[in-house]
Structure 1
Amino acid sequence: MSTAARTTNKMSGKVDEDLYVGVDVGSGSVRAALVDGRGRAIHTHTHTITIANPQQDYYEQDSEEIWQAVCVCVKAVTKEVEDKSKIRGIGFDATCSLVVVAPDFTPVSVSPSTGEDRFNIIMWMDHRASGEADFINSHPHKVLSFVGGKVSPEMQTPKLLWLKKHMTSTWVKAGHFFDLPDYLTFKATGSTSRSLCSLTCKWTYLSEQVGTGDESQSEGWDEEFFRLIGLEDLAEENWVRIGQEVRAPGERCGGLTHTAAHMMGLCTHTPVAASFIDAHAGCLALAAAGLTDGQVLTGRLGLICGTSTCHMALSPGPIEVPGVWGPYGGAVLPSTYLAEGGISASGALVDHIIRGHPCGGGGGGSDGNIYKRLEECLEEEARREKLSSPSLLTRHLHVYPDFHGNRSPLADSHMTGMVCGLNLDLSERSLALTYLATLQALAYGTRQIMAHMTRAGHALTSVLMCGGLCASDLYVQTHADALGMEVLTPQQQPSVLLGAAMLGAAASGRHASLEAAARAMGGPVRRWPPRPEVKAFHDKKYQVFLEMQQHQKRCREAMKAPLN
């Protein structure tokens, strides 16, 4: 089997009659899972997809390549199901990337470097629209209060404005602008409906639940805001290019078309759910993991740790947190509000640190054992120095992790990374120490986000983590230690795929609601208590983290003045 695709079979024997398919489109791969009614993954399949990086801060993808990979993955995980009618529903999640297609749904290029129509997706992590984000944020409007006070270049309104200003031909040719999760439901069903999740979290669509009193806002697009920022033509077209029909996540948005069903090897009309952004699928699965009878889903902070890390918390009422996106009404579950913090580069940062070192072997992607080797090296070094924990090895090595800007709580895309304590050592030991200091820095970033959320009024009762980085016990334990709080990891991994399957279960009609489906499929957790013997160490390093952050701001301010 090629390295571009892999399949796992996690169970054998009799399974529940009700089966669901979850599809997750991440930054570098498409994954699908066949999941039973208790949330257990029976088969999973992964297929890599192309990321084009034609110049700094530009990241592009091909929607047709992604759709083909989706169909390959779904067919692979369902091929052993003889009676395809047992597959009761399918749910999609994906990165919040912008897909541009013509009125006939053919791709329209977003690549000024190549002009290739193949690349018609501006990825979530593309920062070409940083200037447009700054422009939008310089025009105060009540809409911004629902995105933590500032839009990010990772959101869609800055990207749309960039296209209008810098690629006029693309802007004119475009018939539809989709968030990638909504593009997938369109390809599956033919419906151009949009998910409330994508629109409220990335497009400044306002749900009927947001705001109180003078700030109350009825559901819909805010025409005044779009005119203010220079996207008035979208309003004048009656929003046809960005969405006129909106559905709640998990609501049935249609059934598989004949073409889609044939490509996936499934039954025509199989129910398809309104989609999630990938992190939001993980949020639902984490919120439901390890729940006891009567326990609520709100107040549980979920960390979805992939290329970036998303910090997701549901609350029963709206809570505004400066620098944290939201509150988003109904973006995950009805009658709840979502707060979404984040670290723009986490898995991407770890890989960058490893790739940039002579002992890195090209990074984790090319050598999956590199993490194990580094963690074994740390254990050996701690024994050699007679330390009680490898954590203490980084006493004089500090990393500030905003190599790709700060999403939360500063909402400053211009922040950069810092390292304090470098020397001329190029051994594997030096890489191991920098790797550990990077994991610690990511945990301190989470600690700062949690502090801001707590001060604003969130009652965070537990922390749950999922995603590729959580394959490292060191990564998870470092977070428990640095946060001073027990961390839970679901035993029914992968959580993001499970969240997508929960959407399919809700759309199937076999459950009373999306929350009911989530509770039925949540599964057990593993517990990671913090180690008290390293608390003082992490408290000190966290203070260094905050000082490095402020020092960078002072340096930037000092260099603002013209140099000639």
Structure 2
Amino acid sequence: MFGGEQEPDNYYVGIDVGTGSVRAAVVDQRGVLVAYSEQPIKKWEPQFNHHEQSSEDIWAACCVVTKKVVQGMDLSRIRGLGFDATCSLVVLDKQFRPLPVNHEGDSRRNVIMWLDHRAVSQVHRINETKHSVLQYVGGVMSVEMQAPKLLWLKENLKETCWDKARHFFDLPDFLSWKATGVIARSLCSLVCKWTYSAEKGWDDSFWKLIGLEDFVADNYSKIGNQVLPPGASLGSGLTPEAAKDLGLPTGIAVAASLIDAHAGGLGVIGADVRGNGLICEGQPVTSRLAIICGTSSCHMGISKDPIFVPGIWGPYFSAMVPGFWLNEGGQSVTGKLIDHMVQGHAAFPELQAKATARTWNNSVSE
């Protein structure tokens, strides 16, 4: 309180890029949801196990939903912006233009989605090396991580993509770059999906052993040699160009990004449970398990000391909560499988029509 009156609220914008859509939300300084909007994004499947998206389409969707959620607001009260997204691979050239990640040469499709499984041969060869970095991903690297995808690009699209590529971004980091012009990467993405160590940095021997010595030679500038903890403020904040695109004020603070599941994990692990009568009240955060459900499901827990479990990703130091080790496990496409079951039911078309009509009627009455 000041002068007998309550201070005006500050607001924060969060943008979440999932597998099939982009969501934006505005929350106030107490964490109360003020506004929400969602926009679908395009996906391509040119052949079996190849899943692609467009970084330009994703950014355009971010702009649509953000403009919707801040419509009618006092923009001077917006204090910050944060992104989370799927850990898909974005490829850009020296001028930050999209490069094709496909045999068709379609540069619009410059994103290899997280769920893409084209690099099966590459990940088998990586795992056969038994390199020490693999102990930090449960002993066996997933085909959905970035190293095998990068190796696939080098071996299959050398002239049309690999030789021209200057920037390989995890999608969350692409979005924060797009907003600020800062090419720094988040610890969250690099540690969890790229074999980076928060304590030791990149391991030259790993990249040389798997045939990607290119990154060592240029001091990792293509994949990230400026690394920041999640939530760190990026540069001078939102650039004039990005501010115009998003409908937000120039210069508002933009945070280093998070992977989408990890943003959810942070919210659960760090939730204030005082006075709710929950069993975890009064217990350390290391006693909590976050279960994040979307297209896939992910179980996440943190510890003060590293815990190595075969088949469980991690331990990842400071990737989600500063100073803590993260372990995560789960199942890919569990949510997608539920969708498949529901949509395949004979009653689905009728229920979908009723739900659509109910949504339309509610929006008209409002």
Q: What's the TM-score, normalizing by structure 2?
A: 0.90
Other-structure match for 1:256:
238
Matched, 1:354 2:345: no
Matched-pair contact (CA < 8 Å) for 1:130–1:152: no
Pick from 293, 300, 310 the counterpart of residue 312 of structure 1: 300
Other-structure match for 1:101:
92
Counterpart Cα distance in 2 of 1:363 and 1:159: 41
Matched-pair contact (CA < 8 Å) for 1:45–1:76: yes
Pick from 51, 63, 76 the counterpart of residue 59 of structure 1: 51
Other-structure match for 2:149:
159
Other-structure match for 2:359:
none
Amino acid in the other structure paired with 2:201: G
Pairing 1:532-547 to 2, within 5 Å after superposition: none
- Cα deviation 1:16-56 (Å, max 9, x = unaligned): 61211111000000000000111111000100000111111
Structure (1 or 2) with the greater helix fraction: 1
Pick from 103, 124, 138 the counterpart of residue 114 of structure 2: 124
Pairing 1:40-119 to 2, within 5 Å after superposition: 40-82=32-74, 84-112=75-103, 114-119=104-109
Residue 74 of structure 1 and its aligned partner are, at CA, apart by 1.2
Residue 289 of structure 1 and its aligned partner are, at CA, apart by 2.8
Amino acid in the other structure paired with 1:281: A
Other-structure match for 1:423:
none
Counterpart Cα distance in 1 of 2:101 and 2:31: 38
- Cα deviation 1:351-377 (Å, max 9, x = unaligned): 2223445x154699x66859xxxxxxx
Residue 288 of structure 1 and its aligned partner are, at CA, apart by 2.4
Other-structure match for 1:134:
124
Matched-pair contact (CA < 8 Å) for 1:101–1:176: yes
Other-structure match for 2:207:
226
3-state SS in 2 of match to 1:220: coil
- Give the number of the structure whose alpha-carbon radius of gyration is greater: 1
Runs (5+) with no aligned partner, structure 2: 1-5, 275-280, 357-366
Pick from 329, 334, 338 the counterpart of residue 317 of structure 2: 329
Amino acid in the other structure paired with 1:321: V
Matched-pair contact (CA < 8 Å) for 1:59–1:126: yes
Amino acid in the other structure paired with 2:266: L
Pairing 1:115-514 to 2, within 5 Å after superposition: 115-169=105-159, 170-208=161-199, 219-254=200-235, 255-292=237-274, 294-357=282-345, 359=346, 361=348
- CA gap 1:191/1:238 in 2 versus in 1, 3 angstroms: same
Residue 71 of structure 1 and its aligned partner are, at CA, apart by 1.2
3-state SS in 1 of match to 2:330: strand
Amino acid in the other structure paired with 1:81: M
Other-structure match for 2:14:
22
Amino acid in the other structure paired with 1:331: A
- Cα deviation 1:71-108 (Å, max 9, x = unaligned): 111111112212x2211111100000000001101100
Q: Percent identity?
A: 51
Counterpart Cα distance in 2 of 1:41 and 1:312: 24
Counterpart Cα distance in 1 of 2:350 and 2:289: 30
Amino acid in the other structure paired with 2:168: F
Amino acid in the other structure paired with 2:193: K
Q: What's the TM-score, normalizing by structure 1?
A: 0.59
Runs (5+) with no aligned partner, structure 1: 1-13, 209-218, 371-564
Amino acid in the other structure paired with 2:82: G
Counterpart Cα distance in 2 of 1:135 and 1:46: 40
Counterpart Cα distance in 1 of 2:353 and 2:131: 48
Counterpart Cα distance in 1 of 2:309 and 2:265: 18
3-state SS in 2 of match to 1:109: coil
Amino acid in the other structure paired with 1:297: V
- CA gap 1:275/1:367 in 2 versus in 1, 3 angstroms: farther
Residue 299 of structure 1 and its aligned partner are, at CA, apart by 2.4
Matched-pair contact (CA < 8 Å) for 1:354–1:363: no
Matched-pair contact (CA < 8 Å) for 1:355–1:363: no
Counterpart Cα distance in 1 of 2:140 and 2:81: 34
3-state SS in 2 of match to 1:55: coil
Matched-pair contact (CA < 8 Å) for 1:191–1:253: yes
Counterpart Cα distance in 1 of 2:228 and 2:354: 40
3-state SS in 2 of match to 1:348: helix
Counterpart Cα distance in 2 of 1:130 and 1:265: 42
Counterpart Cα distance in 2 of 1:355 and 1:23: 28
Amino acid in the other structure paired with 1:75: K
Residue 64 of structure 1 and its aligned partner are, at CA, apart by 0.3
3-state SS in 2 of match to 1:35: strand
Amino acid in the other structure paired with 2:234: C
Other-structure match for 1:36:
28
Matched-pair contact (CA < 8 Å) for 1:19–1:37: yes
3-state SS in 1 of match to 2:266: helix
Counterpart Cα distance in 2 of 1:360 and 1:135: 46
- CA gap 1:368/1:190 in 2 versus in 1, 3 angstroms: farther
Other-structure match for 1:515:
none
Counterpart Cα distance in 1 of 2:130 and 2:150: 19
Counterpart Cα distance in 2 of 1:274 and 1:152: 25
Other-structure match for 1:388:
none
Counterpart Cα distance in 1 of 2:50 and 2:226: 30
Counterpart Cα distance in 2 of 1:363 and 1:312: 37
